[in-house]
Copies of this chain bind each other. A is one copy, B any other.
Amino acid sequence: MDQPLLSADAVIAALHWRYATKKFDPAKKLSAEEWTKFEQVLELSPSSYGMQPYRFLVIHDPALREQLKPAAYGQSQITDASHLVVFASRLDVTDADVDHYMQRISQVRGIDVAHLEESFGKRIKGDVVHGPRHAEIKEWCARQAYIALGNLMTFAAMVSVDICPMEGFDNKKYDEILGLAAEGYRSVVLAAVGHRAADDGAASLPKVRLPEEELIVNR
């Protein structure tokens, strides 16, 4: 990658093109091959220590989508988008989770697991499991999931796919319907993915952002 893939301006044009899609065209589905790339982007998303304290539920079943819709204030994106992703972050991170991660590193990089535990595992445990970060562990996990949301939104814009990120849903009901708590997770945010309906009025609204001087502080 000596040369940039894209000019910065081309990326920025795509970020201007994207918007929180309010109305999807239910007839426009992503192919299975296209969707695979979205999953790869979720898998490649970086996280603190590389722990990936989350999972992504992809809701294909139309009946389940119908069940989830009223718990998101009846928003049409839940059923009309091509794909629906529930970002679920961990409720806790334990020593066993760190051990599991060390085993994974050992497997991928061919490093002795005892060495990894000494050089890396203990540090993570001392911070995330037994250290100050443990007091806010649920939130720490949720924040990592939001990095993945940001990545997914930028990726979608690059490949001209629409996304509606959604916080407006009843998290507890989602957790119940999807059985998340029993598996140690909670729902934190959704992404509806697909293609905008031709008549989505939201597409043509000028993008509103705070003035630069309120956002960027040079020091």
Contacts and interface: CB of A to CB of B under 8 A. Distances in A.
Interface of A: 1-18, 20, 34, 37, 39-46, 48, 50, 52, 54-61, 64, 101, 104-105, 108-109, 139, 142-144, 146-155, 158-160, 165, 167, 178, 188-189, 205-212, 214-219
A148 B61 CA distance: 31
A52 B14 contact: no
A60 B215 contact: no
A165 B39 CA distance: 22
Contacts of A109: 205-206, 208
A215 B146 contact: no
13 contacts: A4-B158, A5-B10, A6-B6, A15-B44, A15-B151, A44-B207, A46-B153, A52-B210, A58-B219, A61-B219, A101-B210, A147-B147, A158-B158
B158 A209 contact: no
A4 B5 CA distance: 13
B11 A159 contact: yes
A99 B117 CA distance: 51
Contacts of A20: 46
Nearest to A209: B43
A14 B8 CA distance: 14
